[in-house]
Amino acid sequence: MTADAGDRVTRIALVGAPNCGKTSLFNALTGANQRVGNYSGVTVERKIGMATTPGGASLRITDLPGTYSLRARSPDEAVTRDVILGTRVDAEPFDLLMVVVDATQMRPGLRLARELADVGLPLLVVVNMIDIARHRGIDIDLDRIASELGQPVVASTAVRRAGMGALWGRIDGLIAAGLPARQPTRWAAPSAHQLRQALREADRVIAAAVTLPEHRRSFSEKVDAVVLNPFAGPVILLVLMFLMFQAVFAGAAPLMDGLSALVDAVSGAVSAALPEGLLRGLIVDGAIAGVGSVIVFLPQILILFAFILILEDLGYMARAAFLMDRIMGHAGLHGRAFIPLLSSFACAIPGIMSARVIDDERDRLMTILIAPLMTCSARIPVYTLLIGAFVPARSIGFGIGLQGLVMFALFAAGVVSALLVAFASRLLFRRREIAAPLMLDLPDYKVPQLRGVVLGLWQRARAFLRRAGTIIFYASLVVWVLSTFPYAPADATEPAINYSFAAMIGHLLAPILSPIGFTWQICVALVPGMAAREVAVAGLSTVYAVSGGDGALGTALAAQWPLATGVSLIVWYIFAPQCLSTIAVIRRETASRRWMWVSVGYMFALAYVFSFLAYHLVSALTG
Ligand SMILES: Nc1nc2c(ncn2[C@@H]2O[C@H](COP(=O)(O)OP(=O)(O)OP(=O)(O)O)[C@@H](O)[C@H]2O)c(=O)[nH]1
Ligand SMILES: [Mg+2]
C-alpha cells in the first residue's frame, strides 16, 4: 500500500522523553502556538495539528506528553502508551512515529527509539537541539546512528523554526516511497533487566556515533554551583520572588493609572451621551463599573507573568523545583507536585489537571486538594484593590515598597498554608514514608526567547480579557439588577440600594459573616464572586456605583470600612474556595463528589477561622 503525496492524510505522532522539544517541533511543523517550557511535563494532553509538506502531502500531527518508556507508570503515560499502540478506541491510529531525541542527552531518547521499533510502525528519528550540541562542540554522526538503529535519522533545531528543510524533505521522501502499513506489535512491557540492557545498548550507539569535546565545566554547571547551593539557593529564590512583587507594584502603577483614566473617560462619555435612566445605569454603573474595575489590573498580571515566563525559559524554574523538592518532600508532597503547583499561580484549573503526571494516587489527590491555595491570577485584582485601599504606598527604606512587600507576603501565605495543609494531613493519616523525590534532569540555561515570552503574555492577556468580557460582564449586570430593583418607596429615608434585592441578600448573609467583620455589601459581592474571584471586585464596584459613590473604588472602601474589615477580607481570599470552575475540576479529576466537598469544606473553614482571628486582632490593635 502506498500513500501518494496529497491523496490522503498521513498521521504522525511525536514521541520522546520529557523536555526534548516535541512541542517546539510540533509548533514548527504545524505553525501552532502550543505552550513550551524549559522543564519536564509541560505537555499533559494530546494536541493535534495539521500541516502540508513542501511536497504537498497532508499531515495530521499529534503532540504527546513526554515519556521515557511505553512502560506506563502514571495515568498520562498510560494514555501515551495506549495511543501509540493503538489500543485506545477513541484514538485514531498513526502511520508514522516521529521519535524526538535530545541531542544533548541522547541516552533516554535512543533507548526509547529502540523500544518503539517494536511497535510495528515506521519510525523517523529526529535529533533535536542540534544547535546546542554543536555549540558545545558535541559531534554527532547521524548516518552512524541511522545504521545502528536501522531507522532514518534527521537533525533539527525546533525552536528556530528555520532549517526545517531537511526534516520536511525526509518526511516527503518517506511518504513518496510509501509508508509500510502497520505490522502487528511485538512490544511487551520491558522488565527492569531489559531496560538496563537497552540503556547499555544506547550507550554503545552513543559511543560509536557521538564525539564529546574535552570536558570543561559548562556555564550551567558553574551557575548551578551557586544557584543550587543549599544556603545561597533558597536566598536567591526568595530575593527573586521578592523583586518580582516589587516590580508588580512599582511597574504597574503608571499603566494602571492610564487604564483607569481610560475607563473613567469611557464612563464619562457614555454618561454624557445617554439620558438619565435605567439604560444609562445598566451600562455605566453595571457594565462599565464592573468590567472596568477588573480590567485595570491587567498590567499587574502581565508583569507577574513576564517574570514567570522569563524565569521559566531561562531554565530557572527547574532549579526552583529542585530547591523546593526537599521542603515539599517533608510536607509529604511528591516532587512532581511542583509543576502543578507552579501552574496554579496562573490558575488552579490547569494546575489541577497537570497533577495527572503524578503516579501515586494519594500524592496526586493531595496535590489537587492544595492547588487552589496557590495564589491564582484571579486573586491579583482582589489583592491589589484591597492593598491599594488599606496599605499606605510608602517605602520602608532601601527603596522597598510596603505594598509590594504585603503582596509578596500574601503569595507566601498561600504557599506556606498549602505546605502546612499537606504536612498536617500527612500527620493526620500517619503516612510515614517521605514522598518520592523529584527525578528531574536540570535543563541547561538558555537565553529566553522573546517570541515565547511575548506569546505567553498574549495568551494570558487574552484569557484575562475574555473573562472580563464574559463572566465578569454578566455578573456585573446581575449585581446591578439586584442592587437596583425593587425601587425604593417614594418616602424612602435611606439610600435606594438599601431597599434592593442585593440588600436583602446581604442582610440575609450578614449574621453568618458579620463575626468576621464583613459588611452586607461584601456579602453581596461574595455570592456572585463564587463564579470567579475577580467578580467580587466588579460586584463591589457596581454596588458602590449604584450607591452613588464616584471616584476610585479603593478610596471609597478605605473611607467606609475599618482597617480590620479590609484585612479580614484579604485573609478570606487567601483561603476561601471562591471559584466554581475550580470546584468542578476537582470533582472531575478526583472523580469523586466526596473529595470535592472535602476541599470546599476545609478551605471555607480555614478562611472563616483566619478571617475571624485577623478581624479581631486588628480590631483590638486599632481600638
Ligand atoms: N536551543 C534549542 N532549544 C530548544 C530546541 N527545541 C526545544 N527547545 C527548548 O527546549 C525546551 C523544551 O521544549 P518543549 O517543546 O516544551 O519540550 P517537550 O518535549 O514538548 O516537553 P514536554 O512537553 O515537557 O515533554 C524549551 O525551553 C524550548 O524552547 C532546539 O532545537 N534548540
Ligand atoms: Mg511538550
Which of the pair, 454 or 242, is modelled with greater confidence? Answer: 454
Contact criterion met (CB below 8 Å) for 586 and 353: no
Q: Give the lowest-confidence range in 33-47, 369-383, 414-428, 541-555.
A: 33-47
Under the banding of pLDDT at 50, 70 and 90, the label for residue 32 is confident
Q: Is the CB of 80 under 6 A from ligand 1?
A: no
pLDDT of residue 97: 95
CA nearest to 548, candidates 610, 477, 494, 468: 494
- pLDDT value at position 126? 96
Whether residue 442 has pLDDT greater than 50: yes
Going by alpha carbons, the residue nearest to atom 11 of ligand 1 is: 38
pLDDT for the residue 154: 94
pLDDT at 616: 95
* Least confidently predicted of 32-36, 269-273, 310-314, 604-608: 32-36
User: Is residue 40 pLDDT above 70, yes or no?
Assistant: no
Report the DSSP beta bridge partners of residue 139: 211
What pLDDT is recorded for position 163? 62
Q: Which ligand ends up closest to the CA of 38?
A: 1
CA 11–ligand 1 middle distance (angstroms): 22
Reply yes or no on whether the pLDDT at 517 is more than 50: yes
Q: What is the mean pLDDT of residues 571-595?
A: 91
Q: Is the pLDDT of residue 218 over 80?
A: no
Tell me the best of 15, 20, 23, 24 to mutate to test the pocket of ligand 1, counting ligand atoms within 8 Å of each CB and taking the most.
24
pLDDT of residue 431: 63
What pLDDT score does 570 carry? 94
180-184, 320-324, 394-398 — most confident range: 180-184
Q: Which residues of 376-385 are buried (b: 16+ CB within 10 A; e: fewer)?
A: bbbbbbbbbb
Residue 505: all three cell numbers together: 441578600
**ipTM exceeding 0.95?**
yes
pLDDT higher than 70, residue 561? yes
pLDDT at 35: 64
Q: Which numbered atom of ligand 1 lies nearest the CA of 158?
A: 31
Q: What is the DSSP code string of 234-253?
A: HHHHHHHHHHHHHHHHHHHH
d(CA 484, CA 490): 15
User: What is the number of other CB atoms lying within 10 angstroms of the CB of residue 230?
Assistant: 8
Cβ(339) to ligand 1 under 6 A?
no
Q: Tell whether pTM > 0.90.
A: no
Say whether domain 10-211 belongs to CATH 3.40.50.300.
yes
Closest to 472 measured CA to CA, from 523, 419, 532: 532
* Tens of pLDDT, residues 282-340: 888 888 888 888 888 888 888 888 988 899 899 998 888 888 877 787 788 877 788 78
* Average pLDDT value over all residues in the chain: 86
Chain centroid offset of residue 157 CA: 26
Higher pLDDT residue, 67 or 417? 417
Summarize the confidence of residues 477-499 as an average pLDDT. 82
Q: Which three cell numbers stand for residue 488?
A: 425604593
**Which amino acid, residue 261?**
A
Ligand nearest to the CA of 155: 1
CA 164 to chain centre: 30
Average pLDDT over residues 85-96: 82
Taking the CA atoms of residue 286, residue 290, residue 293 and residue 296 in that order, the dihedral angle to the nearest 10 degrees is -110
Which of 66-70, 369-373, 599-603, 608-612 has the weakest average pLDDT?
A: 66-70
| Per-residue confidence (pLDDT) for residue 4, from 0 to 100 | 47
Strand order in the sheet with 9-16: 47-52, 58-63, 9-16, 96-102, 123-128, 153-155
Q: How far apart are CA 375 and CA 409, in angstroms?
A: 11
**CA 44 to ligand 1 center in whole angstroms:** 14
Task: Determine the average pLDDT of the residues in 85-89.
Answer: 79
What is the amino acid identity at position 65?
Answer: P
Report CA(65)–ligand 2 centroid distance (Å).
6
Residue 6, pLDDT > 50, answer no
Distance 129 CA to ligand 2 centre (A): 14
Residue 173: which pLDDT band, with cuts at 50, 70 and 90? very high
H/E element, 47: strand 47-52
Average confidence (pLDDT) over 241-267: 85
Query: Quick one: pLDDT at residue 206?
Result: 92
Which of 14, 35, 36 best tests ligand 1's pocket when mutated (most atoms within 8 Å of CB)?
36
* Residue nearest (by alpha carbon) to ligand 1 atom 29: 159
Q: Which three cell numbers stand for residue 146?
A: 541511522
Query: Which three three-digit cell numbers place residue 354?
Result: 497537570
Q: Which segment of 3-17, 27-41, 392-406, 498-512 scores lowest on mean pLDDT?
A: 27-41
Which ligand is nearest to the Cα of residue 443, counting in written order?
Answer: 1
Share of residues in the chain with pLDDT > 70 (%): 93
Minimum-distance ligand to the CA of 156?
1
The residues near 277 (Cβ < 8 Å, ≥ 6 apart) are: none
DSSP-assigned beta bridge partners for residue 13:
62, 97
Ligand 1 atom with least separation from CA of 27: 15
Report the alpha-carbon distance of residue 101 to residue 139 in Å, rounded.
15
Over 50: is that where the pLDDT of 2 sits? no
Q: 60: helix, coil or strand?
A: strand
Task: Let me know: does 161 contact 28? Beta carbons within 8 Å.
Answer: yes
pLDDT band at 3 (very low <50, low <70, confident <90, very high): very low
Report which residue type is found at 238.
L
Please state whether beta strands 47-52 and 58-63 pair in parallel, antiparallel, or not at all (unpaired): antiparallel
C-alpha 376, offset from chain centre:
9
Q: Cα dist. 346→293, 316, 583 in Å?
A: 20, 17, 16
125 pLDDT more than 50: yes
How do the domains of the chain map onto residue ranges?
10-211, 231-452, 472-622
